Every structure is written in structure tokens, then in C-alpha cells.
Structure 1
């Protein structure tokens, strides 16, 4: 007998097993990552997060999300997300996916959402559908989702490589300290309000020390930032989600941003170089830059496309 139950009734080990059986060769899931991004994530909409169980075995899942935290960070309140949806291959083409999606979408609509995005949620796994999954993209198009841009993850093997040479004086760039975090938050709220500010606030809330941010300074004033992550970071950051695919140590770079008033002069590319140099100094063998359309910008530094995703959105008809 096939039944739909709340996702909260399913054990995390069963969810991770299903994930890894279906897509673990490309996106290896761990219990710690799942708990961070889903189990303990306050924006998961419980009514829209469901599981299909047949014969006592998990066969499919869907996770719906909308912004429900009280942090004032200009996150969209009318946007909902399908964080992920997965159905066991042997149970596809039997209407299970359609039923899950319909129930998940209705829960989001009932919660006041007028736009649904596939991925791109706070604490996301993907910024869209993996580009190689053409049949999945086509299936969602039939469900009323519209394709947008293609997002890319890039990677570079930096083992045995020398450091990058900056074009601007190196004193412009340094790791932030705990004392710098308020400056970072003020900068992000002013120049990059929304998701990046939200993520930095959470970093402060868990006691981040600043070692995950390279700062760009002009006359001692913070004018830009670059996030960098490694295995010792306090969170499993998006650009190191799939580090199990790497034989060595994977580090991550991004997001990054420069104050609009002073863009140019190679400040941005130097900021990436400074962050990469720091990760190389920490012993990273591979560096990943995730969720970007600036492929040619990063290719200048030797990064190569690694994974790509098709963004998709559905506007809810009232």
C-alpha cells in the first residue's frame, strides 16, 4: 500500500539512503548536511514537506520552504521554494511525483506564496535542476515551470600550484576578525541586502570568528568581501557540499561583492585571488566556486565548469 506521510515521520537515515541510491554518485549526501539544511532549517514548511512510503520503504520525498524567520534581511516573503524532490527510479511514471508536487505546491499556495522556485532556497542544495537531467527539466516544464538562466559551479585543482599574484597592493586584502563582523553586516545591509546579509547574520549567530571572510579595504574602510570555506568552517557551506567527490581537501569561494562606487581596477579579481591564496595556504587541493553565471570571469583564474543547473520558476495563478 502506497501512502503519503509528513516528512517528519521518516527517519533521516532513510532519506539519505534514498538520496544516495538515486543521485549520490553526483551529489553525495550526508546526515550532517541533511540535518543542517532541512531537518533543523526553520524555513521548511512542514505541510509542504512530504514522503511517499510503500511497503514500509521510502519511495519519494518533497521539501517545500518559505521564509519564516523574523530576521529583517529583505528576504522575499511571497516566494516559495521546492528545496528538492526525489522519487525512486523504479516508482517513476506512476503518478507519484505528480501527486507529491501537487500537494507540495498547494501547501505553499495556502501559505501565501505567489511564486515557486526550484532550489535557490535559503540553505539550498541546488540553484536549479542539474542540467544533464533533461527529462526532469522537461517534466517540470509540463507542470508549468519556466526555464531561466543556467547556473554553473566551477572547480580548480590547486595542489602543487603557486600563489596568485595580485595586481593591486596586497594591504587592501586581509581576513576579517570577530571584531570586523559588525562592519561586514553593515556593509552587506547597505550594498547587498537580502540573501548575503542573511547568511552573514547566521554566521555571526553561530559565533563565526571572521576566518571565512576575506575583506577588501580602502583607507581602512571595508569596501568588499569574499566568503571562503574549508573543512574547519562552522557550517557546511554550499561550495563544499559535494566534497566527498574530492580525493584531497576541498575549499570553496563565494559569494563576493565590491562596493558599486569603486568597481574596476581589478579589485574583484584580486579579491578572489586573495581568498584562493588563503585556501591554498590552508592546504586545500581543490577549490570550488558555486552558483554563478560569470564563467568567463573565473576561467581567467584557471577554474573550469564542473556542474551546471537550469533555474526554473512557476508563477502561481490566483
Structure 2
């Protein structure tokens, strides 16, 4: 078997999706809408950074890595760090040094450009916020090649259809903010600018950048739930929610094929620092779940979090976990 290593041409990307689904599709089913959509929206995506190993015309393995060339929201790019978005070797070609070769080619290029660290996942428009813990052999592979283990984050799910939100509030004695000063509602055109000002102040990095981009790609106002300070007439909190009608696919519904017909997602969610400790975060979560239930959402995912106790209040349970891994070069 003779192998060649080269950049994967765009017209060959379907081979990446096919290889992905042969090897990971049972746990992380990939489709064209997600794959091409994430690449198109990502300013850090560069076709030169999708390398493939080919056995004649057949794709045997690939690595997608991203350099930080663009601002992350209002924050400057981290030019000394790159992210490996994904790496996979087809089961037919494993244990032949192909994955190691792809990593080596990637690292050799990066060393010459002054990169000092490589992070698994966590890239802009990532597929994974770390190495999926289900793939023990992949984690061992990365450890042998110098990647160090850090913390674990999780995606969490619940069957929203089968929980009674009001009953949970009563039985757990939850303090919901019912102050009429605050309104929890879908975003409208009137408050779009206020939302962006809130994000610029409180979450000026990725969340601000993603929101600005999502609007350009057709995101509807119904997918943003805001906390409105009526006295000051401004946005002081927000959450991004998703359902099957959402125009943009966010991380909460990446693996929607596994969530059934009436899937939903949530994240990110955040409150202005000046308004914390008022119970607005818990209340916003509750109102978002209430809205999702009314929209008919059943199985719902909250992505990339370590706040297991917070989301567990409403019966969200860990579903998929990801190990943060970094290598210094």
C-alpha cells in the first residue's frame, strides 16, 4: 500500500464526511449542513489546513487544524496557538503510523511559524470542545504524542417533554426572580443593538463574534431569549436557544440526529456582571426551558459545560464528555 499526504481539495470534502461517519457516525453523526456550514462561517478556516492521507484515490485519514488569523469577536487572535478541530484514521488503515504522520506534518509547519501550543478542539466553530472521552484509544494516542490531560467538560441532555418545571421549582424551593423590573422574552429588532452592546461589554470575545456572524447567516430573533431591564430599557442577559426550525446549527444541536424529531438546544447563556446574584441566571434558564416546552421541544442538549449541578436542577444529565488536551511545542 502506497500512501500520499496532501491538502484535501474542496470537491473531495464529501470523502471527509464519509470517513467521519464510517468511524464516528454512530456517536457523532455528521451531515453536509453542519460540516459545510461550520467551515463557511469560520473566519479562521483555511483550506490549506485540511490534510489527508490517501491510499491511491481513497481517503485513509484526515486532520483539520486551524490557525488563529482573525479576531475572536473583539479580542485579538491567539497567533501562538492552534486548534486541532478533528483527526480521524479510517478503521481499515489504523496502526500504520498514519495518524502520527499527519500530526508530524502539522507540527513541523507550525514550529516554523512560531506556534507554541496545540489544543484539541475548542476552535471557533468547533465540532468538539475537547477529545471525546468515548474514544479511549484516541486519547491514549494523543497522550503518547505529548498531549497533556486537563479538565473535562460535558454536553448535558434532558427529556424536556417529561419534566414539570413548576413542580421542580416548588419541590426544590428554587428562588425565581419575579421582579417586574425584569422581562424575559424573545429578542426583537428594537433590542438587537442593546443585545450587541451587552455582549460587547460582558462577553466581547467568542460570544460577541458568533452572535454578529449568526445574524448575517439568517438567525431569527426567536432563537435569542433576553433579560430586559425595563427601568433602564436595556438588555442585561441572554441565551441562545435552538430547535428544529433554527436557521443556524449551534453546538447544542450538532448531534440532533440522536435527539429525535423534536430536538432542541441551549447555549450560551449569560448575565451582565452588574446584575449577578439576583437569581437572573437561574430564572433565565427556567424561562428558556418554558419557551422550549411551548415550542414542542422534547429531547434537549446544553453543550460544553462543567456546571453539572446548575443544569442538573432541571434534570439535565451528562451525555457526552470531552477531555481538554494541550501540547506545548
Report the TM range for the smaller structure's normalisation: over 0.9
1:166-177 mapped onto 2 (5 Å cutoff): 167-169=176-178, 171-177=182-188
Conservation of the 8 A alpha-carbon contact between 2:237 and 2:272? yes
Distance 2:57 2:63 in 1: 18
Match of 1:304 in 2: 317
Match of 1:15 in 2: 16
Match of 1:313 in 2: 326
Match of 1:259 in 2: 272
In structure 1, runs of 5+ residues without a counterpart are none
1:139-288 mapped onto 2 (5 Å cutoff): 139-164=141-166, 167-169=176-178, 171-218=182-229, 219=231, 220-288=233-301
In structure 2, runs of 5+ residues without a counterpart are 170-174
Give the secondary structure class of the aligned counterpart of 1:159: helix
Deviates more, 1:290-299 or 1:8-17: 8-17
Distance 2:46 2:187 in 1: 35
Give the secondary structure class of the aligned counterpart of 1:11: helix
What whole-Å deviation, never above 9, does each CA across 1:38-78 have from its counterpart, x for those lacking one? Answer: 36643123333201110321110001112333675215332
Distance 1:40 1:213 in 2: 19
Distance 2:273 2:73 in 1: 23
Q: How many Å apart are 1:83 and its aligned residue?
A: 0.5
Distance change in 2, residues 1:195/1:187 (3 Å): same
2:95 corresponds to which of 78, 93, 107: 93
| Number of residue pairs the alignment of both structures matches | 316
Conservation of the 8 A alpha-carbon contact between 1:131 and 1:310? yes
Give the secondary structure class of the aligned counterpart of 1:132: coil
Distance change in 2, residues 1:45/1:103 (3 Å): farther
TM-score of the two chains, using structure 1 as the length reference = 0.93
Q: How many Å apart are 1:225 and its aligned residue?
A: 0.9
Match of 1:69 in 2: 70
Distance 1:110 1:211 in 2: 46
Distance 2:65 2:109 in 1: 8
TM-score of the two chains, using structure 2 as the length reference = 0.90
Conservation of the 8 A alpha-carbon contact between 2:41 and 2:213? no
Match of 1:293 in 2: 306
Distance 2:305 2:190 in 1: 30
Conservation of the 8 A alpha-carbon contact between 2:256 and 2:263? yes
Conservation of the 8 A alpha-carbon contact between 2:41 and 2:125? no
Conservation of the 8 A alpha-carbon contact between 2:50 and 2:64? yes
| C-alpha RMSD of matched pairs (Å) | 2.0
Distance 2:41 2:227 in 1: 33
